[in-house]
Amino acid sequence: MAGSVSSVKKKNRSATSRPARSKKTKREGEASRAGAGETSRPVFFFFGIVGLVTVAQLLVLSARSGEGRALMLMDLWPYLLWLISSGVVAVGLKLARWRGSGVLLAGIFLLSGLGVVVRSRMSGMSPGVRDMNVLIQPAGFALLFGAWFCFRRERVRQLRPFWGLSLLLMLGLAAGMLALGSRYRGGLYAPGGMTPTEILKLFAVVGLAGFFSRTDAGWEGRGVLRPPLADALLLLVIWGSLGGMLVLHRDFGLFLLLSLTALVMLICATRRLSWGVVALAAAAGGVWGILRYFAHGARRFEAFLDPFSDPTGSGWQVLQGLTGMYAGGLMGMGLGAGRPERLPIASSDFVYAVYAEDAGFVGSVLLLLLFARIFSSGIRITRRQEETFSRLLGAGLVASLAVQTLVNIGGVVNLLPITGIPLPYISQGGSSYWVTSLHFGLLLALSDQK
């Protein structure tokens, strides 16, 4: 909203006071073209982005050669594959006449490129994560492109009838994982450390978007005091059973993420902020329950409240992350030049700490701004949707990504307890990467309106 207001102001100003006539007409011409939704070039920032990621990759290589390690082509594969795959995606979009949001697309390219560099910076740290994993990112881009292609230009509406199936799949998957999988955080460690529960995020978003947008549902305008009773009860049952199963997995982080996403969608569907009260109550109850019944969760909570009470035990991880950040300081050591070797789970949960050590506070703020741009562009896309289902879907997708980002970074900077949620497109990980790609692909499809 702020963006649109300021642009209107700017337009007024230029109409009244700007003397340079030719410039003004050019500006207005551009604006009218974009205003008609005619075009925004998919390769708009492409060269700038490629340049920046190349600089980052060079810095990493330079730091590595400074450590006296031999440079192999292997080190460059992730970067090269990113370069190729994003080029292919860009050309593909052009050929298939992409007309969506340039900011979102550019943001996705830049974010994925930075992620590739940051992960390649850590490949020397944990040997054995090279080989197969270089293909995760290109496969993710394929998914992203596929999602856009299948659901572009309002085709996303075809998803709506599947909301029931989606919710069923969500519950079924959670139950199946409980029956078959490892009992810890829904991980199936046999096939390459996949985490099937990641896909729950999509099932939940699609299912809830359809659930709230049914023509007979009547959620709109109903605050927490007068909910549509039958629907609300059904939702409560679904969410309660999902929560129960995830808690048995001890996957509090995922449940928190899904619940916050659902809350955002609920608020968007009803247009009543009063549901936030429910969230506060539920959060308080949840914290109490975790502290009371789950030693694992309680430990993390204590480590969050006072990491110094057990600095070499439960507080070690977050303190090591913060130590690295402090060592990086304002401008950072330069990408790849930090020393996060002693940081546990550096490549997934704490990747932000590694990045902050390398890029410094300035680089971190820039990354935060990049996330902010991506999400605000997602929100703008959402606001532009004509149909309730698409709007809710967009809100859910943005909420899911934003909550992941904020909760992950919040855990690293000790603003929230550590939850084990990865940072979208930056953290190491296969299934989460692909699910994030699908999120982005669907958002791109939503942005590409008729």
Partner 1 sequence: MPDLPNPSLDSLELLLAHPLWPRVGMLLRLLFHAGFAGLLFRFGRQMRREAMVPAKAYWPSVLSLFGGVFLCVLAVRQADWQLMGQRNERFLAFMQRYDRREFNPAHRFRAGRITDRKGRTLAGSRVTEGGIRRIYPYGPVFSHVIGYNHPLYGMTGVESAGRNRLMRGSLRTREDLAHFGAALLDREGHTEGPPLTSTLDVDLQLLAHTLLEGQRGAVVFLDVRTGDILALVSRPEFDPNRLPPRLFSGQAEGSPLLNRSLAGLYPPGSVFKILVAAAALNEGFTGTLDTPADGFTTSPANPRIRDHDYYIARRAGREWRGHGRIGLAEALAKSSNVFFAQLGIQTGAEALTDAMDAVGMLSRFTLSERPEATLTQGPARLGALSDDRPYGIAQFSIGQGDLLVSPMQIAMLTAALARGGETVFPRIDLAQPVRTGRRLCSEEHAAALRWMMRRAVTEGTGRGAQIPDITVAGKTGTAQTGAGRESHSWFTGFAPSEDPMWAFAVIVEHGGYGSRAAVPLVRQMLQTAVQEGWLVP
Residues 69-128 that bind partner 1 (CB under 8 A): 70-77, 101-103, 106-107, 110
Q: Is there binding between residue 51 and partner 1 (CB under 8 A)?
A: yes
Q: Rounded CA gap, 83 and 109, in Å? A: 10
Q: At its nearest, how many Å lie between partner 1 and the CB of residue 143?
A: 18
Q: Is there binding between residue 132 and partner 1 (CB under 8 A)?
A: yes
Exposure of 354 by Cβ count < 10 A (0-12 exposed, 13-18 middle, 19+ buried)?
buried
CA-based end-to-end distance of the chain: 22
Q: Is there binding between residue 55 and partner 1 (CB under 8 A)?
A: yes
Q: Rounded CA gap, 186 and 416, in Å? A: 22
Q: Which of residues 291-310 bind partner 1 (CB under 8 A)?
A: 308
The partner residues of 194 in beta bridges, in order of sequence, read 188
Q: Rounded CA gap, 45 and 55, in Å? A: 15
Q: Which positions from 318 to 337 touch partner 1 by CB under 8 A, shown as an x/- string?
A: -xx-xxxxxxxxxxxxxx--
Q: Is there binding between residue 56 and partner 1 (CB under 8 A)?
A: yes
Q: Is there binding between residue 14 and partner 1 (CB under 8 A)?
A: no
Q: At its nearest, how many Å lie between partner 1 and the CB of residue 405?
A: 9
Q: Which of residues 345-364 bind partner 1 (CB under 8 A)?
A: 356, 359-364
Q: Is there binding between residue 413 and partner 1 (CB under 8 A)?
A: yes
Q: In a 3-state reduction of DSSP, which class is residue 194? A: strand
Q: At its nearest, how many Å lie between partner 1 and the CB of residue 336?
A: 10
Residue 27 or 185: the one with the smaller Cβ distance to partner 1 is 27
* Residue matched to tokens 């999602």: 147
**Region near partner 1 per CB under 8 A, out of 140-148, 297-305, 396-404, 436-444:** 396-404
Interface with partner 1 (CB under 8 A), residue from 375, 389, 425, 434: 375
Q: Say if CB 271 and CB 220 are below 8 A apart.
A: yes
Interface with partner 1 (CB under 8 A), residue from 278, 281, 305, 369: 369
DSSP string across 253-301: HHHHHHHHHHHHHHHHHHT-TTHHHHHHHHHHHHHHHHHHH-HHHHHHH
Q: At its nearest, how many Å lie between partner 1 and the CB of residue 120?
A: 13
Q: Rounded CA gap, 134 and 287, in Å? A: 39
DSSP string across 340-396: GGGSTTTTTTTHHHHHHHHHHHHHHHHHHHHHHHHHHHHHHHHHT-SSHHHHHHHHH
Q: Is there binding between residue 398 and partner 1 (CB under 8 A)?
A: yes
* Residue matched to tokens 């649109």: 4
Interface with partner 1 (CB under 8 A), residue from 170, 194, 246, 409: 409
Interface with partner 1 (CB under 8 A), residue from 382, 400, 427, 431: 382
Residue 181 or 332: the one with the smaller Cβ distance to partner 1 is 332
Q: 188 vs 65, 153, 177, 195, 427, CA distance in Å?
A: 37, 36, 8, 6, 19
Q: Is there binding between residue 31 and partner 1 (CB under 8 A)?
A: yes
Q: At its nearest, how many Å lie between partner 1 and the CB of residue 172?
A: 30
Q: At its nearest, how many Å lie between partner 1 and the CB of residue 217?
A: 17
Q: Phi/psi class of residue 310: alpha, beta or left (left: φ > 0; alpha: ψ in -120 to 50)? A: beta
Secondary structure letter of residue 134 according to DSSP: G
Interface with partner 1 (CB under 8 A), residue from 90, 111, 134, 421: 134
Q: Is there binding between residue 224 and partner 1 (CB under 8 A)?
A: no
Q: Say if CB 405 and CB 351 are below 8 A apart.
A: no
Give CB contacts under 8 A, 24+ apart, made by 179-182: none
Q: Is there binding between residue 7 and partner 1 (CB under 8 A)?
A: yes
Residue 44 or 294: the one with the smaller Cβ distance to partner 1 is 44
Q: In a 3-state reduction of DSSP, which class is residue 44? A: coil
Q: Which of residues 229-268 bind partner 1 (CB under 8 A)?
A: 264, 267-268
Residue 131 or 180: the one with the smaller Cβ distance to partner 1 is 131
Q: Is there binding between residue 29 and partner 1 (CB under 8 A)?
A: no
Interface with partner 1 (CB under 8 A), residue from 24, 294, 298, 414: 414
Interface with partner 1 (CB under 8 A), residue from 43, 61, 254, 393: 61
Q: Is there binding between residue 343 and partner 1 (CB under 8 A)?
A: no
Q: At its nearest, how many Å lie between partner 1 and the CB of residue 244?
A: 28
Q: At its nearest, how many Å lie between partner 1 and the CB of residue 319?
A: 6
Q: Is there binding between residue 129 and partner 1 (CB under 8 A)?
A: no
Q: Rounded CA gap, 9 and 347, in Å? A: 44
257 token code pair: 């993420």
